[in-house]
Structure 1
Amino acid sequence: MLSSIVLYAGFAGITIFIGGLLANYFNHHIPESPVKYEITHTLMSFGAGIILSALALVLVPKGIEELGLLPLVVSFLIGAVAFMLLDEYLAKRGGQVATLLAMLMDFIPESIALGAVFASDYGTAVLLAVIIGLQNLPEAFNAYRDLVQSGLSTKKTHLIFFCLSFLGIIGALSGHFFLTNSPVLTAYLMTFASGGILYLLIQDIIPESKMEKNYLTSLGATLGFLVGMIGEKIV
């Protein structure tokens, strides 16, 4: 069990580092052009679709299954408000810290939930790990570019992303040891994260992925959601 948790959580986390490597290659080896701009926005849109699939197919259903109506509503709203306040604070701070924290807002709660779910629902845990990994890839791609553009060196950014890759394993093991026998508490965590992630999705990710007079980039969100559907069907 522990080896499976480390393996899948490691996959979910290592895509942060891979996303940074891809962004570095993309920035330095692909010439500036409208096509490059479209690819960047399509990746953001794809990530938004995967995040939406995680909400609709994994996180929210688990919350609905375990929680009553009032606890479900309260935990979801608390998550949304908490992320709104944090987003406002980060916007005022600006710079590399804001970008870095924004990328982690959904990764850490999902990793903890991943470890907690492994003991009770192996299939859902595997699906969640795949979704988290695919979700982190485009998010890390965009976060890396923002960090470098804000003045952080590529060497330091690579080091930060490499260290962040292990947070998935730490979070998953914490969830496994402390939340395995607490399905209700896990549901609270997943519902709380759902409210916050949905806020971020609507407030930041979707608007930034949109391009005027370009309709193909939005197809990326549809394809991202399809990835989640396929994973759910396979499981």
Structure 2
Amino acid sequence: MLFKLILFSAFAGITVFIGGLLANVFDHHVTDSPVKYEFIHTSMSFGAGIILSALAFVLLPKGMEVLSVWGVTGSFLSGAILFMLLDRKLAESNSQQATLLAMMMDFVPESIALGAVFAIEPQLSLLLALFIGLQNLPESFNAFRDMVQSGFSVKRTLTIFFGLSFFGVISALIGHFLLSEHPNLTAHLMILASGGILYLLIQDIIPASKLDKSYLTSLGATLGFLVGIFGEMLI
């Protein structure tokens, strides 16, 4: 049984590295053109839609089932303020890592939730792993490009992404062994992540995905959210 959990969470995590590889290939082997830039911005908005769906269908609902209104309010505001401070710090250093932060903010809590529910509903864990893996692809694609543009080398960025891909397994094991009997703590973590994700979406990711005279970017966000709807209905 434990092997299955490791397998599920490994799949959810390895897509972080795969998304980075795809972004590297795309940047170096696709000729610059208006179509290329439109694809890039549409993929950014698609990833934003998936992140938003994770917040709307997984993190917030699961946390709200457990916590009181004051518990939700406190954790949500704490997450928003925490990531406002982190975002401000990154802005002062001219870094462009908001997409990476947002990706990890839903990747880690969802992986913890995957591990926490595995012992009770293994099939739910499988579908959750598929959902996490799908949303990691466009998120890591965009995060890779952001990091390279902010000054990281391709080799260093891919190395970081390879390391981050194991966070899914680590988080799932933490959820399974440490948090499966502490639903309140898990719920606070999910709501905290929700506040941070929403701040980053509004402040950085959605504005950056906007492209003048292009309507596909908004459609991309809508399709990304639709992926979340499919995932929620399948789960």
TM-score normalised over the length of structure 2: 0.91
Q: Does 1:213 align with 2:185?
A: no
**Match of residue 71 from structure 1:** 71
Q: Deviations over 1:96-132 (max 9, x none)?
A: 7777556433333332233223234445433432332
Q: Distance in 2 between matches of 1:89 and 1:154?
A: 23
**Paired residue for 2:33?**
33
> Which residue of structure 1 lines up, in the alignment, with residue 44 of structure 2?
44
Aligned partners of 1:183, 1:7: CA distance in 2, in Å? 24
What CA distance in whole angstroms lies between the structure 1 residues aligned with 2:89 and 2:71? 27
User: What does 1:87-166 correspond to in 2, within 5 Å?
Assistant: 87-95=87-95, 101=101, 103-166=103-166
The aligned residue for residue 80 of structure 1 is 80
CA distance in 2, matches of 1:132, 1:187: 18
2:97–2:146 contact (8 Å) kept in structure 1? no
Contact 1:59-1:194 at 8 Å conserved across structures = yes
Which is worse superposed, 53-62 or 139-148? 139-148
How far, CA to CA, are the matches of 2:208 and 2:182 in structure 1? 37
* Mean CA deviation greater in 88-97 or 138-147: 88-97
Give the aligned residue type for 2:26: F
Is the 1:78–1:192 Cα contact (8 Å) retained in structure 2?
Answer: yes
The answer to whether the 8 Å contact 1:96/1:150 transfers is yes
CA–CA distance in 2 between the matches of 1:54 and 1:97?
19
Q: Which moved more, 1:182-191 or 1:23-32?
A: 182-191
Q: Which amino acid aligns with 1:165?
A: S
Return 24-33 or 115-124, whichever deviates more.
Answer: 115-124
- Check whether the contact 1:127–1:232 (CA below 8 A) recurs between aligned residues: no
- The amino acid of 2:23's aligned partner reads A
SS of corresponding position for 2:171: helix
How many percent identity over aligned positions?
Answer: 67
Distance 1:98 1:65 in 2: 28
Q: 1:130 to 1:94 in 2, by over 3 A?
A: farther
Q: Is the alpha carbon distance of 1:198 and 1:61 closer, same or farther for their aligned partners in structure 2, counting shifts above 3 Å?
A: same
CA distance in 2, matches of 1:151, 1:79: 27
8 Å Cα contact 2:111-2:172 kept in structure 1: yes
What secondary structure, in the 3-state scheme, does the structure 2 residue paired with 1:218 have?
helix
The residue type equivalent to 1:37 in the other structure is Y
What is the CA–CA distance in structure 1 between the aligned matches of 2:145 and 2:88, rounded to whole Å? Answer: 21
SS at match of 2:139: helix
Q: Which runs of 5+ in 2 are unaligned?
A: none
1:166-209 superposed Cα distances (whole Å, 9 cap, x missing partner): 11111111111110011121111111111111111111111111
Equivalent residues of 2:102, 2:197 under 8 A apart: no
- TM-score when scaled to structure 1? 0.91
Q: Is the 8 A contact 1:79 1:192 kept in 2?
A: yes
CA deviations on 1:137-176 (whole Å, 9 max, x unpaired) are 1121122123333343322222221111111111111111
Cα distance, 1:107–1:113 mapped onto 2, change above 3 Å: same
Mean CA deviation greater in 86-95 or 62-71: 86-95
The question of whether the paired residues in 2 share the 8 Å contact of 1:52 and 1:225 is answered with yes
State the alpha-carbon separation in 1 of the partners of residues 67 and 232 from structure 2: 22
